[in-house]
């Protein structure tokens, strides 16, 4: 075993040497075929187009865009990484980043000097920070999404309620959600699903609470302010009766309910805008406003990054590709296709222009008051517990107090395990 | 045998038996030779046999046996998300015993198994009905009942998730017609286990029915004739002739149903919506989660693969024990005519 790994190490060194690491910019090292792993079928067109553009401007290269559906992407990627056969460049998201960065599966990216893959000044600071692990940058921000309040104008008109705007507070949202609820018709003011990124992470930040401590060792679910952010949703279902129950939301997805005109309002992520736009009937009926204000104004910022597999055979070419994908032309291609907002500053205009009836500037402005998505090394483990345990409070099977108490305990235990695994 | 015959021949006065002695001795010789030859032949046969099953056997060893042994090994380790294992003894099993989720999912799985077993009498009734002489359209009904068996569980789950939808599902619409306010079947903790088991029964009833039908048709008609001559009515015939003679088939279907139900995964996983963004927020998730679902969650989402391995090892032992128990108990009720 040891012998074999020594051999492997020797092989990689020669390979790296053969690739000519010091002369990154010579055309010799920039030939070859790399694979690019992605999971979103809706972004395939944009990704293929960008890859084509790269091939055109870099003769002698081929970029093979490989789509793996989200459901199997992570299982497959993890297996491929252990086996040494992962794509040279691939997408990563916040909840999974820690795992790969911590295990040394990613190639560090330079952000200054001649070899810089991208300049952090060109991207929202929180996005760059999301893909930095222990002081080293591993991911180049590809896109971002923010959360905003989407609403159905038709239902607002029928209930004679003014459309939401930036001045709304939680209380405004609650009052109007009640007025907009019409149980006879089966329409509700708002949906209160157990969704982290779109719902309770935002409200927790608005209430001044926190999900995970800065050093990623403690759960924030025992903090009364965090609980306030959760209580908003539980109350919208049980106290104000302005949202469908969790059972209803389990049987029918809230975004689908909104699309079907059964919800007057919904907290939705920017990546749904293109789907809403694609339906001409829906397009005419809906619009978007900033999230209401709690104690603070806040919206969760999350986005994907392009990363390079540590054991790629073409590190120089992979770097060049990531550099290209972070650049202006690839960002504009992304923006044009509309599914994701390109992360690069100043390239988002085609995204908003593509859907002129929606006030999409709201989603872009949200970056100014955004809060980063909470992660740790093994985010998936506690995020799953979080959903499961909070669902018990949302459904009314358990009090919010007792649900958050057991969640804090379970999350702290998992975070302690992470710490142990690291040392 | 031959010495006795010889003495008998010597004792008996008239000698019509004379040719017997040499004949027997010849046969004895032949038999010995034959047996040797046979053994030789048998050995050669055996090797042929092994050679012929080798492709299947090898596949089984490489793709089943070896992974099973590996899984057993990994269940005693801590396994990093990208490989790298450390031996930690029975630590995973110790965690498992005090993990309420494991117990809950074990309970759910056993509950499901019991309910699916109740489908066997249903299959039996259907098989008897379809075996009646003079029944019209049996071919049609057989196909109808067998259809769910040949349908992908994932497709079945998607369809049933719609049927069970609390607001727009067809089941509740039908119930509303007769004035019943239906539940949110698969997101209500109190109904979810029955709802998924109903689909489980629906999916397996056709398979069991076909097996039992074959068993029924294997019962010779003579027994029924004899029974009716003795004055046994239809009901008596069923309990005294059909049931005992069908018991080997019943035993077979029971053993298979138990094994399959304990391993149930995709059907329930998808009916609960665990494959969607809703995922674990289904309020009935813990009441519906099966052992294999828990294994899947731990291994492939929570990155605790060694712990997942321990969970399936427990399931493996449980299945083995329950099957052994059934083989034990069969002596009491299975009748090999």
**Hey, of B171, B172, B282, which one would you mutate to test binding to chain A, going by the most A CBs within 10 A of its CB?**
B282
Contact residues, chain B, for A245 at CB < 8 Å: 184
Q: Is residue B153 located within the same domain as residue B116?
A: yes
Q: Return the pLDDT at B301.
A: 84
Q: Is residue B51 located within the same domain as residue B173?
A: no
Put simply, whether A266 touches B (Cβ < 8 Å) is no
Q: Write the residue in B164, B279, B303 that is nearest to A387 by C-beta.
A: B279
Residue B155 domain flag: yes
Instruction: Name the phi and psi angles at A133, rounded to 5.
Output: -125, 120
Put simply, whether B184 touches A (Cβ < 8 Å) is yes
A14-145+302-344: which CATH number, 2.60.40.1250, 3.40.190.10, 3.40.50.150, 3.50.50.60? Answer: 3.40.190.10
Cβ–Cβ gap A249/B278 under 8 Å: yes
Q: Return the pLDDT at B29.
A: 58
Residue B80 domain flag: no
Residues whose CB is less than 8 angstroms from the CB of residue A345 and which lie 6 or more positions away in sequence, other chains included: A122, A123, A124
Q: Is residue B117 located within the same domain as residue B34?
A: no
**Residue from B252, B23, B13 nearest B124 by CA:** B252
Cβ–Cβ gap B302/A380 under 8 Å: yes
Q: Scanning every residue of chain A, which has its alpha carbon at the shortest distance from the alpha carbon of B163?
A: A251
Put simply, whether A257 touches B (Cβ < 8 Å) is no
**Closest-CA distance of chain B to residue A23, Å:** 32
Cβ–Cβ gap A380/B297 under 8 Å: no
ipTM of the assembly?
Answer: 0.82
Q: Return the pLDDT at A419.
A: 77
Q: Residue ranges of the domains in chain A?
A: 14-145+302-344, 147-301+374-422
Q: Is residue B108 located within the same domain as residue B63?
A: no
Q: Is residue B162 located within the same domain as residue B282?
A: yes
Contact residues, chain B, for A394 at CB < 8 Å: 281, 283
Mean pLDDT, consecutive 10-residue stretches, chain B (337 aa), reads: 41 44 52 70 80 93 95 93 89 95 96 96 93 84 91 93 93 94 93 96 94 94 92 90 93 96 95 84 93 93 91 97 95 85
Q: Return the pLDDT at B104.
A: 96
Is A143's pLDDT higher than 90? Answer: yes
Q: Write the residue in B166, B276, B300 that is nearest to A247 by C-beta.
A: B166
**Closest-CA distance of chain B to residue A408, Å:** 17
Residues whose CB is less than 8 angstroms from the CB of residue A130 and which lie 6 or more positions away in sequence, other chains included: A94, A97, A139, A141, A302, A303, A305, A372, A373, A375
Q: Return the pLDDT at A421.
A: 67
Angle between helices A379-394 and A94-102 (to 10 degrees): 150
3-class secondary structure per residue, chain A: CHHHHHHHHHHHHHHHHHCCHHHCCCHHHHCEEEEEEECCHHHHHHHHHHHHHHHHHCCCEEEEEEECCHHHHHHHHHHHHHHCCCCCEEEECHHHHHHHHHCCCECCCCCCCCCCCCCHHHCCHHHHHHCEECCEECEEECEEECEEEEEEHHHHHHHCCCCCCCCCEHHHHHHHHHHHCECCCCEEEECCCCCHHHHHHHHHHHCCCCCECCCCCCECCCCHHHHHHHHHHHHHHHCCCCCCCHHHHHHCCHHHHHHCCCEEEEEEEHHHHHHHHHCHHHHHHEEEECCCECCCCCEEEECCEEEEECCCCCHHHHHHHHHHHHCHHHHHHHHHHCCCEECCCCCCHHHHHHCCCCCCHHHHHHHHHEEECCCCCCHHHHHHHHHHHHHHHHCCCCCHHHHHHHHHHHHHHHHHHHHHHHC
Rounded-to-integer distance, Cα A252 and Cα B184, Å:
11
Residue B82 domain flag: no
Number of domains in chain B: 2
Contact residues, chain B, for A249 at CB < 8 Å: 278
For residue A68, give both structure tokens: 């793996």
Percent of chain A at pLDDT exceeding 90: 86
Is A22's pLDDT higher than 60? Answer: no
Contact residues, chain A, for B161 at CB < 8 Å: 251
The H or E element containing residue B314 is: helix B305-333
Residue B13 domain flag: no
Rounded-to-integer distance, Cα B17 and Cα A119, Å:
114
Put simply, whether A378 touches B (Cβ < 8 Å) is yes
Cβ–Cβ gap A82/B82 under 8 Å: yes
Put simply, whether B19 touches A (Cβ < 8 Å) is no
**Closest-CA distance of chain B to residue A251, Å:** 5
Q: Write the residue in B187, B275, B304 that is nearest to A71 by C-beta.
A: B275
Put simply, whether B285 touches A (Cβ < 8 Å) is yes
Residue B139 domain flag: yes
Percent of chain A at pLDDT exceeding 70: 92
Torsion of CA A214, A220, A224, A229, to 10 degrees: 90
Q: Is residue B25 located within the same domain as residue B155?
A: no
Cβ–Cβ gap A388/B82 under 8 Å: no
Cβ–Cβ gap A103/B82 under 8 Å: yes
Q: What is the pLDDT of residues A52-91, one digit of tens each?
A: 999 999 999 999 999 999 888 998 999 999 889 999 999 9
Contact residues, chain B, for A250 at CB < 8 Å: 184, 186-187, 273, 278, 281-284
**Domain containing residue B26:** 19-74
* Polymer length of chain A: 423
Residue B294 domain flag: yes
Q: Return the pLDDT at B33.
A: 73
Contact residues, chain B, for A237 at CB < 8 Å: none
Residue B44 domain flag: yes
Q: Is residue B253 located within the same domain as residue B120?
A: yes
Q: What is the pLDDT of residues A101-116, one digit of tens each?
A: 999 999 999 998 888 9
**Residue from B226, B77, B305 nearest A79 by CA:** B305
**Closest-CA distance of chain B to residue A141, Å:** 24
Q: Scanning every residue of chain B, which has its alpha carbon at the shortest distance from the alpha carbon of A96?
A: B301
**Residue from B178, B153, B152, B180 nearest B166 by CA:** B180
Residue B280 domain flag: yes
Is A144's pLDDT higher than 80? Answer: yes
Contact residues, chain A, for B295 at CB < 8 Å: none
Q: Is residue B185 located within the same domain as residue B302?
A: yes
Q: Is residue B226 located within the same domain as residue B258?
A: yes
Cβ–Cβ gap A378/B286 under 8 Å: no
- Side-chain-side CA neighbours of residue A363 (13 Å): 30
CATH number of A147-301+374-422: 3.40.190.10
Cβ–Cβ gap B164/A246 under 8 Å: no
CATH number of the domain encompassing residue B237 = 1.10.3720.10
Q: What is the pLDDT of residues A290-333, one digit of tens each?
A: 999 999 999 999 999 999 999 999 999 999 999 999 999 999 99
Q: Count contacts between A and B (CB, < 8 Å).
A: 94
Cβ–Cβ gap A250/B283 under 8 Å: yes
The H or E element containing residue B87 is: strand B85-87
Rounded-to-integer distance, Cα B89 and Cα B75, Å:
9
**Closest-CA distance of chain B to residue A252, Å:** 8
- Map tokens 């699309």 to a residue: A259
Q: Is B85 helix (H, G, I), strand (E, B) or coil?
A: strand
Put simply, whether B228 touches A (Cβ < 8 Å) is no
Strand-pairing partners, residue A157, are: none
Q: Is residue B120 located within the same domain as residue B268?
A: yes
Put simply, whether B187 touches A (Cβ < 8 Å) is yes
CB B52 within 8 A of CB B61: no
Q: Is residue B141 located within the same domain as residue B177?
A: yes
Q: Scanning every residue of chain B, which has its alpha carbon at the shortest distance from the alpha carbon of A383?
A: B302
Q: Is residue B60 located within the same domain as residue B112?
A: no
Cβ–Cβ gap B82/A81 under 8 Å: yes
């Amino acid at each position: 075993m040891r012998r074999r790994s020594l051999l492997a190490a020797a092989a990689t060194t020669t390979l790296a040497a053969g690739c000519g690491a010091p002369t990154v910019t010579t055309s010799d090292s920039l030939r070859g075929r790399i694979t690019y792993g992605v999971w979103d079928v809706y972004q395939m067109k944009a990704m293929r187009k960008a890859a084509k553009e790269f091939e055109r401007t870099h003769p002698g290269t081929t970029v093979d865009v490989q789509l793996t559906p989200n459901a199997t992407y992570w299982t497959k990627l993890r297996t491929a990484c252990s086996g040494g056969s992962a794509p040279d460049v691939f997408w990563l998201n916040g909840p999974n980043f820690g795992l790969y960065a911590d295990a040394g599966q990613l190639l560090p990216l330079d952000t200054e000097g001649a070899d810089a893959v991208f300049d952090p000044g060109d991207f929202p600071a929180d996005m760059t920070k999301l893909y930095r692990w222990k002081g080293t940058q591993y991911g180049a921000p590809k896109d971002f999404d923010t959360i905003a309040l989407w609403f159905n104008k038709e239902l607002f008109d029928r209930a004679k309620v003014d459309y939401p705007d930036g001045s709304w507070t939680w209380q405004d949202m609650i009052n109007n959600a009640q007025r907009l609820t019409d149980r006879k018709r089966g329409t509700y003011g708002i949906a209160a699903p157990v969704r982290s990124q779109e719902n309770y992470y935002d409200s927790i930040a608005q209430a001044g609470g926190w999900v995970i401590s800065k050093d990623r060792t403690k759960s924030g679910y025992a903090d009364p302010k965090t609980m306030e952010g959760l209580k908003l949703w539980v109350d919208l279902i049980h106290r104000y009766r302005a949202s469908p129950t969790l059972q209803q939301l389990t049987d029918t997805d809230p975004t689908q309910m909104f699309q079907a005109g059964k919800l007057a309002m919904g907290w939705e992520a920017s990546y749904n805008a293109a789907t809403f736009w694609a339906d001409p009937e829906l397009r005419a009926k809906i619009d978007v406003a900033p999230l209401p204000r709690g104690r603070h104004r806040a919206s969760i910022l999350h986005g994907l990054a392009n990363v390079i597999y540590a054991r790629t055979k073409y590190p120089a070419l992979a770097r060049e590709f990531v550099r290209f994908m972070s650049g202006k032309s690839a960002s504009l291609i992304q923006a044009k296709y509309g599914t994701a907002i390109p992360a690069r500053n100043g390239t988002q205009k085609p995204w908003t222009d593509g859907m002129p009836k929606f006030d999409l500037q709201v989603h872009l402005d949200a970056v100014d008051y955004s809060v980063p998505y909470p992660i740790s090394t093994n985010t998936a483990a506690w995020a799953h517990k979080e959903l499961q345990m909070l669902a018990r409070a949302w459904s009314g099977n358990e009090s919010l107090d007792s649900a958050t108490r057991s969640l804090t305990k379970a999350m702290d235990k998992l975070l302690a395990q992470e710490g142990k695994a690291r040392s | 045998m031959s010495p006795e015959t010889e003495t008998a021949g010597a004792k008996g006065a008239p000698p019509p038996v004379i040719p017997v002695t040499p004949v027997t001795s010849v046969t004895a010789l032949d038999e010995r030779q034959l047996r040797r030859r046979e053994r030789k032949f048998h050995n050669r046969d055996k090797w042929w046999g092994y050679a012929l099953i080798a492709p299947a056997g090898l596949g089984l060893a490489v793709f089943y046996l070896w992974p099973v042994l590996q899984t057993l090994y990994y269940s005693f380790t801590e396994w990093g998300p990208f490989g790298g294992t450390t031996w930690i003894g029975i630590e995973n099993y110790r965690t498992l015993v005090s993990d309420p989720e494991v117990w809950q999912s074990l309970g759910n799985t056993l509950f499901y198994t019991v309910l699916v077993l109740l489908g066997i009498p249903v299959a039996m009734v259907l098989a008897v009905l379809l075996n009646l002489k003079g029944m019209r359209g049996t071919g049609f009904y057989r196909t109808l009942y067998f259809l769910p068996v040949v349908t992908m569980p994932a497709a079945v789950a998607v369809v049933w998730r719609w049927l069970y939808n609390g607001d727009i599902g067809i089941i509740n619409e039908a119930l509303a017609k007769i004035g019943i306010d239906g539940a949110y079947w698969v997101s209500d903790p109190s109904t979810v286990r029955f709802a998924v088991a109903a689909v489980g029964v629906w999916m397996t009833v056709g398979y069991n029915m076909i097996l039992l039908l074959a068993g029924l048709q294997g019962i010779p008609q003579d027994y029924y004739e004899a029974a009716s001559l003795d004055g046994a009515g239809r009901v008596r015939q069923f309990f005294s002739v059909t049931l005992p003679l069908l018991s080997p088939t019943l035993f077979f279907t029971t053993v298979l149903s138990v094994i399959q139900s304990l391993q149930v995964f995709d059907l329930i996983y998808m009916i609960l919506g665990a494959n969607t963004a809703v995922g674990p927020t289904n309020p009935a998730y813990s009441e519906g989660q099966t052992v294999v679902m828990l294994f899947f969650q731990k291994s492939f989402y929570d990155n605790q693969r060694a712990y997942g391995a321990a969970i399936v090892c427990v399931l493996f032992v449980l299945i083995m024990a329950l099957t052994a128990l059934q083989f034990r108990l069969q002596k009491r009720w299975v009748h090999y005519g």
